[in-house]
Amino acid sequence: MTLMTAEASGVYVIGATPFSDDGAIDWNSLDALTDFYLERGATGLTVLGIMGEAPKLTQAESADIVRRILGRVDGRVPVVVGVSSPGFAAMGELTAAVMDAGAGGVMIAPPPTTRTDDQIFAYYRGAAEATGAAPIVIQDFPLATSVQMSAGVIARIVEAVPQVVSLKHEDWPGLEKISTLRAPGGLPRRISILCGNGGCFLPEEMERGADGAMTGFAYPEMMRDVIAAVGAGNMDRALDLFEAYLPLVRMEMQPGLGLAVRKHILWKRGILGTPALRKPGTKLGAVAAAEIDRLMTRLDRKLKDLC
């Protein structure tokens, strides 16, 4: 077991779930995908998030997938598991099971019914009682949850809930929030800030004090290299790299459709056996696929120029 800590940094890839064309889980592709993420610079993995296709899995499949990934990763990096649930009993049970199996922490998003600062605070207090000693990642994703967490309420939670080690930052716009949290007095103690939104603001996020990315962009090496360049103080290099990929980042950020784009890219890159989504899921049309392919070709050309 490799636990997530408040020092977590780098690229936590949100894992896709590979399926065959008939909707069965494609275990070979899952292994290949796990290997690919690690080879391309993942310093952690995040599975069973609120977006993507995890909600389409049965509970037994979810457990099998977590176990398979944990076995493949074999302790090399922490694996965070999404355990958001309407009930604390189910959340606690799932947390116990995945932590026993070797997970490195759990990620929890607030339900849409938590609206005021006090409600959000109380929710995380209750959730932490249910999840025990497991390290917690706060998932701050207003576009999906419709819950708006101010920097102040995040600080209150961090103060009161020692299990919180990280914030998955996916507010939009969100750059100022990172600056606020990282300013003196912004947080009562250090936690890791890992950014989502498909990597769309990664160079600026890093510069403002984030520790890395937590998102599923189909080229994890972009995130690895951008983070390294910012860390080396070479912002121009970071932006050059980032902007080469930005046309594809834009395509993956389309709500509802982005996952089909992501799987298409992973398939074209030879990682997935098929780009299929489980039903109900959007299928990428031929024109859209050609648009992506063209951008992938252009990316290859740009990357050659950048070397």
Q: Give me the residues that bind a copy of itself (CB under 8 A), please.
A: 23, 53, 55-59, 85-90, 93-94, 113, 115-119, 122-123, 126, 130, 142, 148-150, 152-153, 172-173, 175-176, 179, 200-201, 204, 208, 235-236, 239, 243, 246-247, 250, 254-257, 278-280, 285, 287-288, 291, 294-295, 298
Least distance (Å) between residue 60 CB and a copy of itself = 8
Please give the distance of CA 149 from its chain centroid, rounded to a whole number. Answer: 18
Min dist. Cβ of residue 8 to a copy of itself (A)? 24
Task: Please identify, using beta-carbon distances, which residue of 86 and 270 lies nearer to a copy of itself.
Answer: 86
| Structure token digits, residue 136 | 């917690």
Nearest residue (CB) to a copy of itself, 75 versus 285: 285
Least Å distance between CB 132 and a copy of itself? 14
Min. distance of Cβ 250 from a copy of itself in angstroms?
6
For the chain, counts of helices (H) and of strands (E): 12, 8
Which of 173/233 has CB closer to a copy of itself?
A: 173
Of 156, 160, 207, nearest to 186 (Cα)? Answer: 156
Amino acid symbol at 244: A
Q: Give the helix/strand (H/E) hosting 168.
A: strand 164-169
Q: Report the binding-site residues.
A: 214
CA distance 150 to 202: 20
Minimum Å distance from CB 43 to a copy of itself? 25
Complex with a copy of itself: residue 172 or 221, whichever CB lies closer = 172
Cis bond upstream, residue 111 (ω within 30): no
Question: Residues within the annotated binding site for pyruvate?
Answer: 214
Residue among 5 and 163 whose Cβ is closer to a copy of itself: 163
Structure tokens at 205: 């996020």
Torsion of Cα atoms, 65 then 50 then 121 then 115, to 10°: -160
End-to-end CA distance of the chain: 38
